[in-house]
Each structure stands twice: as C-alpha cells, then as structure tokens.
Amino acid sequence: MDKEPTYWTLEEQNLFERYLLDGMDAQERTDFESQLQSDSILNTKFLEFKELFRTIEEDGLRFKLNDFHEHLEDDSQIRPLHTTSYRLFFRVAATIALLIALGGIWYFYNPNSNERLFNAYFTPDPGLPTVMGNSDNYDFYEAMVDYKQGNYKTALQKWENLLPQKMDNDTLNYFLGAAYLANEEPSKAIPYFDRVLGNAQPSFQSEAAFYKGLAHLKNNEVEAALKSLEQTSDEKGRELAKKLKD
C-alpha cells in the first residue's frame, strides 16, 4: 500500500523553517529538539519536511552557484568573494530554495478546497439489507454483499451484467453510480445517477442528486455540483451547497 502523504500546517512549516535556517535562539532550539524527542508524530513530520527541504535547497543552491560563477567569468576583473558576502549569498540562496520548496509542498501535498469538501461530506451509501433468500434478486443481493464489504469492483462487474435486462431499474442504476463513486470513478458514476433522476418518480431521487453533486465536486465541476445539490432534500447536501456558494 502506498504511504499516506504528510500534511504540514503553516505553523509547522514556519517552525521547521526557522529551525533549519538557524532562526531560533538557543533556548527555543533546545525546547524544539525536546519536543521532537517526545512527539513521534511531530518528529516524523519534521524529518520528511527536512528531507524534501534539503533536496530542493541543494537544487536551488546549485542553480544559484552556477549562475553566480557565470557572472564572475563574464566579469573582466575577478574580485575576491569576501566571507561576509559569501555567507549572505548562501543564506539568500537557501531562502530562495525554501520558498520554492514551500510552493511545491503546498501544491503537491495540500488538497484543494473542492477535494477537502468532498472528503468531508462523502461516505459511501451504506447499501440495502441483503435478502439472499429472494431467488429473483439473488444476483443483485450477492453483489450488494460485495459492495457493503468494500469490494466495489466485484460488485460493479456483477451489477453491470444485470443491467441489459434492467436498464430502467432505479435501484440498480443508483447503486452502480454509488459503487463507481466509492471506487473513485466519479465520471463513470454520473450517467447512472442521471438515469435515476431522469425517471418520472425515481426511488432514490434525493440520494442520487446528492451523490451526483459529490461526483461533480470530485471532478472540480462546482457549478454542476451546485445544480445537482439543489435537487436534494438531504440536509448534508444543502449544507454543502451553502458552502460552495460562500
């Protein structure tokens, strides 16, 4: 399983930055190091931040040094580089590298607002009670067992096999959409929710509108998400719609 990405708050980034750039006094530095020893989570975050910071700092410094030497070579009179100037240059280069690093960190590790809202409001539909004794719907409920166990791909395969004979079945279409969305395939989920909502009196109208809105939000289609969420009577859906409008 892939390692979960680490998220650093702005406060943590500032704290790690000041430590790595010697911006702390002796007492603060000692306190911070003690905190790292007692807080394993903070220590893990710091080490991962430090690793990325050093990597990008080296690349940034290498670029600045090459550029600096090119200017020296172009100068007709080579002047000595005083210690004070060198230290100032090194600090400036490191600071530039940090800014580049923080920009990259924020872009790659911090999910956008739509993604955060999706994660906050999405939970897979819990599914229907599995009545396995009903032979007419045995295949449907067998797939429902897979769905409720989180085996979405297996459930999808079984439900897709049933679809040619039940194209207009609201329940089947709704759970196909729910399974695709739970399987992180929002674009495939939307047409099934549309089939449900396109019927005159759909059995899952409010639910389909809510999850269709979440599918559009997952795709960063905010206007389409709002349009769908306005069709739901679900309290969470109305709350989410309000946040999207704010």
DSSP string, 103-164: HHHHHHHS--HHHHHHHHH----------TT-GGGHHHHHHHHHHHTT-HHHHHHHHHHHGG
Q: Are 43 and 36 in contact (CB under 8 A)?
A: yes
Q: pLDDT: is 76 or 210 the higher one? A: 210
Give the global pTM.
0.56
Q: pLDDT: is 174 or 89 the higher one? A: 174
pLDDT at 143: 93
Residue span(s) of the chain under CATH 1.25.40.10 come to 118-245
pLDDT at 94: 54
Share of the chain above pLDDT 90, in %: 42
* 49 pLDDT tier (thresholds 50, 70, 90): confident
Q: Convert the pLDDT of each residue in 126-148 to its tens digit.
A: 998 876 555 568 889 999 999 99
Angle subtended at Cα 237 by Cα 172 and Cα 230, rounded to the nearest 5 degrees: 90
pLDDT at 22: 79
d(CA 128, CA 175): 10
CA 20 to chain centre: 27
By C-alpha distance, which of 134, 135, 129, 161 is closest to 148? 129
226: exposed, middle or buried (Cβ count in 10 Å: 0-12, 13-18, 19+): middle
pLDDT at 17: 80
Topology classification of domain 118-245? 1.25.40
d(CA 125, CA 236): 13
Q: Integer distance in angstroms from the first to the last C-alpha of the chain?
A: 37
